[in-house]
Structure 1
Amino acid sequence: MFFKIGGTLGAIAILSIGTAASLLQRGYANAQNAERYVTVGHDKGGNSVALDTKTIHGTTYKLYGLYGDGIFETTFSASCTESRLFLNRIAIYGTGGQLLEEDKEKGEIPFVASSSPGKAMRIVCQKIGARGW
């Protein structure tokens, strides 16, 4: 996996979910696949939240970020024409890549254009050519 962390931090190579957190924290760079993960925001601790552009299917997409010593993966679906956003799944992975927690409860969440899910939705809706994006 690869994260593109905006600005001067450059790209961070992530070889597997198991090594994601340590490589994010150390700032390991690899520009070859930097465009796979695009920073769409930051969490309260200042850590990047990234959109995985390779997993976009229609209007379904995933966001990744640090969570403790591991990472979180959140899956969303968008209704571009209605500006509606739906949470499909949240998963937390440990440093060894093991699934620690998973919540598959689905539901609509408020669309906030300035939030990480909202910024990612904009990219996804533009990618599919939805009007107004």
Structure 2
Amino acid sequence: MLNLARTARQPLRLGLVDLGALVEQLRQDFAPDEVNRSVQWDLAPLPIVTGDPDTLRQVVVNLLSNALKYTRMRDVAVIEMWAKDREEEWAVFVRDNGVGFDARYQDKLLRVFQRLHCQDEFGGTGVGLATTRRVVQRHRSR
């Protein structure tokens, strides 16, 4: 919750962020979570973008940790990440073969404390994607 509040108040410190290098570093950080698991990473080349390094790191951590969490029931977890160059911004995508969610509730997915799966089935606080949304919105409005 503190992280969510902090993302709204801290000024963005803009600089160049190599998303490819960031993802590689995080994959190494996540390696202990992959012990006794088969994880297939399908990563396209990712761009260097202008943004706040700390908050963009939090975005990528949230997205990849969710992908790892929600694929843990799969024999082979498949996590894909790629980017598309749009006229004035990059769109970055993460897709996995995890449990998914009911599309009828997609409007709740990015809200604080809105969980689409049982707490005992998949842990977490319910603020990761809300934080991610807030960071992306702040970068768009700069």
Task: Please say whether Structure 1 and Structure 2 have the same fold, judged by a TM-score greater than 0.5.
Answer: no
* Higher helix proportion: 2
Higher relative contact order (CA 8 A, sep 6+): 2
Name the TM-score class by shorter chain. 0.3 to 0.5
Which has the higher Rg, Structure 1 or Structure 2?
2
TM-score normalised by length of structure 2: 0.31
* Higher strand proportion: 1
